[in-house]
């Protein structure tokens, strides 16, 4: 229960204006107060001038009334300045509130977009997914190892490997024996610097020819005597 008859602050009413309209209204009110202040400044100057005139005419009472009106106008200007300051503070606060509201809206929209893009995926979901992927990879490796086990046993059989090595050695020897001989290119004989073959009959000394004839005659004589 409100004892002072003041309404409790609640949400905006159905006919409330928008922040932009409120700011415009406040700005118009500030301009009106400025015009009011200008008008009062003129009134103050007017009362000050009348007070001087009355003092010149020795009308002291009249001068005091003018000064009282001048003081009231000055007090009114002080009130106007206070009201202007309050209105300007409200405009700044509303503008800041609007800016904050727009910022919050943008942040909310960004958060909703991120949530939509994420597709309701949580950190736990990602962890479970990674665990499932790891399990599947391990199972695939186990299956591959099981499938390749007989082949690995064959490759690990030492007796078969030795036999295979012997077959490779025999095949290599057979290829070497059956390989055709590599023709060796004949190297051209090096030109020898020999003297030219003589074409003329050598001159045989006469004494040598006579000695050969005598020897032949002697051998024929010895043969005849032997008979």
pLDDT digits (tens, 9 = 90+) for 1-58: 454 445 554 545 555 788 889 889 999 999 999 999 999 999 999 999 999 998 888 8
pLDDT digits (tens, 9 = 90+) for 148-184: 666 555 555 677 677 777 888 888 877 777 766 656 5
Rounded CA separation 48/42 (Å) = 10
- pTM beyond 0.85: no
Tally of residues, the chain:
227
| Residue 6 phi, psi dihedral angles, 5° rounding | -95, 135
User: Are the CB atoms for 47 and 73 separated by under 8 Å?
Assistant: yes
Rounded CA separation 104/85 (Å) = 28
């Amino acid at each position: 229960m409100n004892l002072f008859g003041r309404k409790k602050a609640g949400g905006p009413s159905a006919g409330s204006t928008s922040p932009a309209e409120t700011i415009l209204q406040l700005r118009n009110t500030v301009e009106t107060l400025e015009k009011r202040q200008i008008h009062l400044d003129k009134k103050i100057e007017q009362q000050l001038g009348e007070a001087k005139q009355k003092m010149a005419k020795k009308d002291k009472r009249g001068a005091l009334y003018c000064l009282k009106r001048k003081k009231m106008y000055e007090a009114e200007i002080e009130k106007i300045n206070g009201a202007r300051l309050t209105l300007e503070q409200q405009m700044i606060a509303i503008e800041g509130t609007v800016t904050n509201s727009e910022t919050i809206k943008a942040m909310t929209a960004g958060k909703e977009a991120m949530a939509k893009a994420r597709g309701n995926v949580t950190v736990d979901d990602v962890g479970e997914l990674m665990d499932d992927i790891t399990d599947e990879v391990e199972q695939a490796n186990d299956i591959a190892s099981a499938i390749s086990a007989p082949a690995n046993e064959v490759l690990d059989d030492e007796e078969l490997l030795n036999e295979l090595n012997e077959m490779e050695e025999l095949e290599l020897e057979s290829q070497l024996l059956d390989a055709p001989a590599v023709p060796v290119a004949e190297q051209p004989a090096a030109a020898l610097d020999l003297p030219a073959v003589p074409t003329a009959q050598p001159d045989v000394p006469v004494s040598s020819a006579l000695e050969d004839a005598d020897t032949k005659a002697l051998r024929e004589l010895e043969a005849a005597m032997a008979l």
